[in-house]
Amino acid sequence: MKIKDIRALASVQGPARSTAERLSRKCYSVEDMRKLAAKRLPKSIFEYIEGGGEDEVSLRRNRSSFDDWSFLPKWGSVDNLDLRTTILGGPSAMPVTLSPTGGTRLFHPEGESAVARAALAAGIPYGLAHLSTTTMEAVSAAAPGLRRWFNLEPTSDKGLLQAVLDRVSKAGYEALLVNVDCRAIGHRERDYRNGFTAPPSIKPKTVVEGMLHPAWALGFLANDAIAFPNLDAQIPDGPLASSPDMWRTLLAGSYEPTDWDDIRDLRERWNGPIVLKGVVNVNDAALAASMGIDALQVSNHGGRQLDHMAAPLDVLPEIVAKTAGRMEIIVDGGIRRGSDVVKALALGADACSIGRPYLYGLAAAGQAGVEHVLKMFTAEMTRTMMLLGVSTIEELRAEGRDLIRHRNEAFVRNQPTRIPEAPLALQK
């Protein structure tokens, strides 16, 4: 090959002109974003994102459950490939939502507002956590056109509940995400080892970690304290302030006995859609459908609560069969690729929800990082559907079970017919 041929093939890139361009050149997967987030955050903060309950069996199974399913592509034309779908009666650019995550400004100073703007740019819904660190009103102002959902815990204090619901409605949130998997906080041993307790334990290594991550430390110290301003009906007046009780709420939790009667009461009080988040029991799914709940988020809280709790993908087919189209099914836990979303939809889910992937993006590069993660999901879903041979989300859900196979299923369901041997006179 001649020098001129090499020059023709070579492409010399100039310096990246934006954060988005820089990310597009170096981060090709959620795992790449995870590694970048690990560099940007102190270890204790990063492991708060990463960690699960006890031995982290559920955490690992969430991921490995997707590896148990293989694609069976069909041949044919794929025309006008389209990821658009409907979730809870409204449009979404793809069958993905952003799950509520607590303490989000721990990972980037712009926190929930940056996530909301990225979700708006991507055209998908965002669930704001009740343990969010930005007021629900500020998130609404940051992304006024966004489909916003609000996450809360069931409560027996009906006066407080109604006041919070009134505030949520006034702030423009269209749906409720109701946790039913948080009667206690999971035993997250990584957090204890890192001093991430209630209140936090400041150890020498904590100070050293902060010094080794000056950009994070500056952002943490220069902005409002980490607080949880959406737990009650009052809109905070002035800068947010932290307290030991707030950290206990995040890291230790508190149990208030509630049951299905409280879910029925909530259904009567709220006119919009309700999603029960944290259901893996098929009997609970059927009961929720019978009382008019609009959707389930099949979830084990990212493996952070009860260890050895079933992985959502493992119970998804049974829940889909039991609810029989009476409610929408959203799946979260272990989703790291657009191909994971395609697998879940092929098994009957209406949509998937992600948490850790967008937090990696936020920690790595703020709003631009979240946007990059969502662009990767869009590209991966598009590529997977093209290679699988489906054009739309409707087609994927209708034909999905013929396009995917579990590792324990026989690839040939019946024993193949044995071809008789040729007569001896014809053998050579």
Residue numbers annotated as active site: 301
Nearest CA among 49, 41, 171, 172 for reference residue 109: 41
Contact (Cβ atoms closer than 8 angstroms) between residue 378 and residue 83: yes
Long-range contacts of 18-27 (CB under 8 A, 24+ apart): 18/368, 19/365, 19/366, 19/368, 19/369, 20/368, 20/371, 20/372, 23/364, 23/365, 23/368, 23/369, 23/372, 24/372, 27/364, 27/372, 27/376
Query: DSSP letters along 326-389, please?
Result: SSEEEEESS--SHHHHHHHHHTT-SEEEESHHHHHHHHHHHHHHHHHHHHHHHHHHHHHHHHHT
Residue 86 β-bridge partners: 91
**Residue 41 DSSP code:** S
Copy the structure tokens of residue 292. 């008019």
Nearest CA among 359, 41, 47 for reference residue 209: 41
Measured distance CA(4)–CA(1) in Å, rounded:
8
Measured distance CA(276)–CA(298) in Å, rounded:
8
Query: DSSP letters along 153-165, please?
Result: ---S-HHHHHHHH
Copy the structure tokens of residue 428. 């050579």
**Three-state SS at 279:** strand
Nearest CA among 198, 15, 220, 33 for reference residue 133: 220
∠ Cα 164 170 171 (to 5°): 90
Residue 69 β-bridge partners: 406
Contact (Cβ atoms closer than 8 angstroms) between residue 300 and residue 280: yes
